[in-house]
Amino acid sequence: MSKEHAKRSRALSYWLRHAPEKGGLTLDAAGWAPVAGVLAALAREGLETSEVLLRAVVEENGKRRFELSPVGERIRARQGHSVAVAGSWEAATPPPVLYHGTVERFLEAIGREGLTKQQRHHVHLSADIETAGKVGARRGEAVILTVDAAAMVADGHAFALSSNGVWLTDHVPPQYLARAPQS
């Protein structure tokens, strides 16, 4: 991935998830922004831009973090927002075990409070250890936690599945968490 491509992706993530006003954007209730406005914002940042380059950011993002509307006139982040949006996350029954990647320095707080959504709309969970490891490794040496999703569902906790395969829930209390064995 080129530096320019990475800069475009980081700018989109920031604007579409956390600070649309920093890009001069306004998100609708579902988190959509006009592609024309996003292209203008990227140009103001001095980044080479076009609809083709924007589509490449959407299609080549390894986490499938963004999506374009069917006609391609709007773009949004799929999840991870700290700004208010009414996402279209489908309620779903998760696999029996999910995973969360973190780092050692957060384990004490997680042991007390569980996984909390912090400033986001949901706690993000992975269906596989590899993805959780990549998430955790962004902040240092990854520690993988297992989530007893089957027990959570049995106890009445709700889950949703984003369109890019990220499992979402409001909170994972500590009793449903365990440290995954290291390989």
CATH number for position 149: 3.20.170.30
Residue 85 resides in a domain: no
Rounded CA gap, 100 and 127, in Å? 9
| CATH number of domain containing 63 | 1.10.10.970
Q: How confident is the model at residue 27 (pLDDT cuts 50, 70, 90)?
A: confident
Q: What is the CB-side half-sphere exposure of residue 101 using CA atoms within 13 A?
A: 18
Indicate if the pLDDT at residue 161 is higher than 70.
Answer: yes
Averaged over 27-36, what is the pLDDT?
Answer: 87
- Same domain? For 102 and 26 the reply is no
- Same domain? For 40 and 63 the reply is yes
Strand partners, 177: 147
Residue 47 resides in a domain: yes
Q: Supply the mean pLDDT for the chain.
A: 87
Q: What is the domain range of residue 162?
A: 90-179
Q: How confident is the model at residue 112 (pLDDT cuts 50, 70, 90)?
A: very high
**Residue 137: Cβ within 10 Å count:** 13
Residue 82 resides in a domain: no
> What sign has the CA pseudo-torsion 123, 21, 26, 38?
negative
Question: Token digits for 134?
Answer: 């990549």
Phi, psi dihedrals of residue 118, rounded to the nearest 5°: 55, -125
> What sign has the CA pseudo-torsion 134, 135, 139, 140?
negative
What is the per-residue pLDDT for 177? 96
Q: What confidence tens digit (pLDDT) does each residue in 32-81 have?
A: 899 999 999 999 999 888 898 888 888 887 677 888 888 888 898 877 66
Number of domains composing the chain: 2
Indicate if the pLDDT at residue 157 is higher than 80.
Answer: yes
- Same domain? For 170 and 115 the reply is yes
**Residue 15: Cβ within 10 Å count:** 25
Averaged over 7-23, what is the pLDDT?
Answer: 88
Rounded CA gap, 92 and 131, in Å? 20
What is the per-residue pLDDT for 172? 96
What is the per-residue pLDDT for 87? 61
- Same domain? For 171 and 121 the reply is yes
